[in-house]
Structure 1
Amino acid sequence: MSVDAAVTPDAVEELGAREIRRSVLRRWGLRLGVVLGWAVFLGVWYAVSQFVLGAQRLPPPDAVAAEAWEVMSGGGFGSTLWASILRVVGGCLLALVLSVVFGVVIAYSNWWREVLGALTRIILSIPTVAVAVLALILFGASGLGPMLTATLVATPYVMTSVARGLTGVDRRLIVMSESFGRTRSQIVTGVLVPSSMLAVIGASRQAFALAWRIALLTEVFAASDGVGFQIRRSFESYDIRGMLAWTVVFIAIMFAFENLVFRQLERRAFGGAHASMSAEQRP
């Protein structure tokens, strides 16, 4: 059969319908895989709780879920959660601002690239627990320590992503801007920032993911309120069920916030970029 005979409207329609079916099956397969993964995780948790460690050392999932419901319905839950969220968001925003500034410097200065690269290696080699203890010594049991610790730990990772995105900007745009007499600040705000917006959005999601993990860990050592402080109180009173309940609740809320906010922003940004690229490639 010739190519002209094979490429018909019916054949194209059939091919499109087949691709749609494959896409739907693939999407449902991924969802089924997620459900099965959670089922296996809960099954292993329950088996270890019942037959290996015992319910006293590792409470089963249903007991932790019941405790989590009591935590969320109890008094003071809103203020405790709000204190942690403020530290996470504050650390994320500070890390993102510093990363954008340092990323621009790294992308266009070899000297600063070497200096900040050495500082980044030093910071990454310091254990996070040591940074949390140092925050306790410097700031005491306050909200400033967890927020600054999250900023310090997250900035090197996010800065690398931003710098990589900035160095990937089309140099012809920069040369053309310079030929029209644009200043360096105008090139940064008019060319670099818009062209690297995808990298900045991806870096903001990475900053948030790192900030809430580090802030929670630091609250355990250097805070007088927040979710980490409640986890420490539960640990000191040997309340393993309460400790796991606070951990599960906070992780669930942070994952929901990350998926509902940052992932949607990232998806829209990448979708807009793909749409604009397709429009440019059309004749």
Structure 2
Amino acid sequence: MSLDVSVTPDAVAELGAREVRRSVMGRWGFRLGVVFGWVAFLGVWYAVSQFALGTQQLPPPHVVASEAWQIATGEGFGSTLWASVVRVVGGCLLALLASIVFGMVIAYSNWWRALIRSLTRFFVSIPTVALAILALIIFGVSDIGPMLTATLVATPHVMSSVAHGLTGVDRRLIVMSESFARTRAQIITGVLLPSSVLAVIGGARQAFALAWRISLLTEVFAASDGVGFQIRRSFESYDVRGMLAWTALFIGVMFFFENFVFRQLERRAFGGAHAAARTEPQR
């Protein structure tokens, strides 16, 4: 008994149209899910504000949005936001730089791997609030404290991701570079970093996500300006509406960076990797 399966142009066109419809439905389902999630979140917020805590303890969303608009259009918002963004970006860059250096060390040296892992466990076990207070004691009210605290907290988490990407580099590229008498510095800049660019970008995104949380917390204790300082001022005057408004504004700005900077970098990096894979000669 033979099964006659014929592939016709109409069948191929129908299959392609079906896949396109499935893809479109999947995208619209994802978007509707996001909208439904936000609507549910706001609904729960309204319900808790009206029936559980009260509008004084938890202002409703429209009140917080109105306060956020007044803050964003008022004087001093730009300088306050800029102070926090500089600390976040500085902490992110320092954490990424330290993670690349330590990641290379632990990826290719067993002795350094054991030492750095033991130090990493020590720093990870320290409470973040304790680091913020320690930064206030050591550096006083300055920009250095929030930046270094964000670096210390973010580096151990990002370092493992970068090290994993470095260990995944094709060893044949390294051997071939050594056979052509390339120096260690040339191998690092010409082979290791380009081959692990996806891991580095992922580490940068993770460092940024951790840095802005830690920097904001440290600003509450060890800063005389910035969003964290404004949240502390609102807390001292029991202005819950101002606290939530400043928090919402800062989260919005950080989401902008994450979606329109790091996500675009990841897309470009993935696109370049796919293009390189397509153009690589077959063996």
**TM-score normalized with structure 2 length:** 0.96
Query: Where in structure 2 are the equivalents of 1:158-169 lying within 5 Å?
Result: 158-169=158-169
Q: Does 1:57 align with 2:57?
A: yes
Residue 119 of structure 1, CA deviation: 0.8
* 2:211 aligned residue: 211
Offset of 1:282 from its aligned partner?
A: 6.8
Aligned to 1:26: 26
Aligned partners of 1:182 and 1:282: how far apart in 2? 25
User: Aligned partners of 1:282, 1:22: CA distance in 2, in Å?
Assistant: 33
Superimposed CA distance per residue, residues 81-116 of structure 1 (whole angstroms, 9 cap, x where no aligned partner): 000000000001111111111111111111111111
Q: How does 1:1-283 map to 2 (within 5 A)?
A: 2-3=4-5, 5=6, 7-280=7-280
**Post-superposition CA distance 1:234-266 (Å, at most 9, x none):** 000000000000000100110111100000100
* Aligned counterparts of 1:9 and 1:199: Cα–Cα separation in 2: 43
Alpha-carbon distance between aligned partners in 2 of 1:15 and 1:277, rounded to the nearest angstrom: 27
Aligned letter for 2:255? F
3-state SS of 2:56 partner? coil
| Alpha-carbon distance in 1 for matches of 2:121, 2:16 | 50
**Per-residue deviation at 1:9?**
2.3
* Partner AA of 2:200 in structure 1: V
CA RMSD of aligned residues (A): 1.3
Matched position secondary structure for 2:57: coil
Runs of 5+ unmatched residues, structure 1: none
Residues of 1 paired with 2:234 and 2:41: CA distance?
24
CA drift of 1:8 comes to 2.4
- More divergent stretch after superposition (111-120 vs 226-235): 111-120
Shift of 1:33: 0.4
Partner of 1:182, secondary structure, is coil
TM normalised by structure 1 equals 0.96
Counterpart residue identity of residue 257, structure 2:
F
Distance 2:226 2:274 in 1: 41
> How far is 1:280 from its partner?
3.0
Deviation at 1:281, TM superposition (A): 7.0
Give the number of aligned pairs.
281
Amino acid aligned to 1:214: I
AA partner of residue 262 (structure 2): F
Give the deviation of 1:168 after TM superposition.
Answer: 0.4
Q: How high is the sequence identity, in percent, across the aligned residues?
A: 76
